[in-house]
Amino acid sequence: MKSFAIIGCGRFGSAVARTLHELGNEVLAIDGDPDVVEMISPSVTHAIQADVMDEAVMKELGLKNFDVVIVSIGTDLQASIMATLIVKELGVKHVVTKAQSELHGKVLRKIGADKVIYPERDMGVRVAHNLTSKSIIDYIELSPDYSILEIRSLERWWGKTLSDLRLRNKYGVNVMAIKRGDQVNVSPGPNDKIETGDILVVLGSTDEIAKLEQKAGD
């Protein structure tokens, strides 16, 4: 079990927080909005309302003891930059930060972010992480141990529910969302059925993701 702190619990941050917790990890969710904290609280180990730009407050949370801190703040660039700077100065081992633009990402790397991701830019954009499979659309490395994979539904999955597919049991991955056209089903349930053209967004360990990629290329 690893420990993760998620700073900023919008759509992306909350989905990552929930899934990491479902995978058996310790997850601390931090957000400045009390309504967001109340919503995410049942799905993580701890949820706290805090001013992420207050260094004293952040220090009290003991963030340096977490294996990975993910800064997933939305449109407030100042808060994103300050939170990243603070957690690095606190001595956090690995900091993953969400960026809104290339310039934003450049600043984040300059102040010490270990990994910068661009979910808004990258989601839906075809990438060749696995050149042997046309099913793989996108790949995001959250940390050296966990990754997110965006994969087009395989023909053998069509008409089956997530419960039928048993992806977690077979590959150790969790389905975070199902994209169908312009619609996104966040946190789908076991009875949700996979259809032709669906895109699955899954999270899992890097090793397990690699196994799923290999299977998609068969």
Each residue's pLDDT tens digit, 35-74: 999 999 999 999 999 998 888 998 899 999 999 999 999 7
Higher pLDDT, 140 or 115: 115
The pLDDT of residue 212: 82
CATH topology of domain 136-217: Alpha-Beta Plaits (3.30.70)
Q: What are phi and psi of 12, to 5 degrees?
A: -70, -50
The pLDDT of residue 42: 95
The residue whose two tokens read 């895109």 is 199
Contact in structure between 204 and 172 (CB atoms under 8 Å):
yes
3-121 is classed in which CATH architecture? 3-Layer(aba) Sandwich (3.40)
Which residues of the chain are in CATH 3.30.70.1450 domains? Answer: 136-217
Paired sense of beta strands 146-152 and 136-141, if any:
antiparallel
Which of 91-95, 162-166, 179-183, 204-208 is predicted with the least confidence, judged by mean pLDDT?
204-208
Which residues of the chain are in CATH 3.40.50.720 domains? Answer: 3-121
pLDDT at 111 over 80: yes
pLDDT at 124 over 80: no
d(CA 59, CA 138): 35
CA atoms in the 13 A half-sphere facing the CB of 55: 8
Higher pLDDT, 142 or 30: 30
Q: What are phi and psi of 38, to 5 degrees?
A: -65, -35
pLDDT at 76 over 50: yes
Mean pLDDT computed over every residue of the chain: 86
d(CA 83, CA 40): 20
Contact in structure between 84 and 106 (CB atoms under 8 Å):
no
